[in-house]
Structure 1
């Protein structure tokens, strides 16, 4: 997946359900560790709350290695997992949801908790500003000086970026393109007998 939506900024909504106050927060995150850091920060910021439940998709939407969730003291399966299910269904990546609960004295029951925690995330996502994240792969390309202008033109057509340029007896380029555009760009290069070399990360 080379393009997917991510949160544009921090976002928060609040609900009161049977006297319990639920604060649902959405954060953009860079990775698993970043998500865990924010969870700890929010626990410290709301020390008097009963629960700080969370779920995150800290990488691309389909990267299960970057999933995580916590019920934080609520009955198992009633908070973090339903929250994660909403995030997965949204198609968002690099996103963390935290639901902070101030207990109001009335128990919600298993079904009520699932509905409250999942519903809070759904409500927050309805008004969450998002931006598109484009995943680019790095490539190397060597060309002659007289070919460089044409290559720059095609790079603009295919939304590519020149990261580095080395001028020696020829021009050596370090490029960044997304998967779809790199294939089209590579086909253009074949007409000039040039080959795009993918860098392994």
Structure 2
């Protein structure tokens, strides 16, 4: 078993399983990623539930100190619930079976896609560079953040990703892992190639 934090590889006989929450191969949203995160979403959802509960019980009960304590405890429990089950990181599961099949599934309820192993031509690491297109939007967000005494680390910077991609004979390409570290992407590629006995070009 290989567990590097951003990915996990399990090998059981003729089957290799790759699990990761880092498999983005596209640009994403610079503004969205700078302002929104899963912790913030979980906090907002938890706060909304607390407010609804307060409005419901306020007409029937006198709010006391114990209610504030319970609200704080409930907020913590709700935050953990939303962060773990509602706003959890999407995951990818790729299963390589030497019997001749490749299964790829994204998310808990995502559709499982089946590919034939003999259709796999190569596994490669590609380098992708993304630069923010909406420079004015980036500057505006940075200005507002500074006015509030907040700095968003890395916001609006050029982003470089190293992706591990499956290349099939029909020209189809599937990203199964991505990292800002080239060494990490190459490690995943080499482990897959070694298991599947694919020779480096």
Give the TM-score normalised by the residue count of structure 1. Answer: 0.24
TM-score (norm 2): 0.24
Higher relative contact order (CA 8 A, sep 6+): 1
Higher strand share: 1
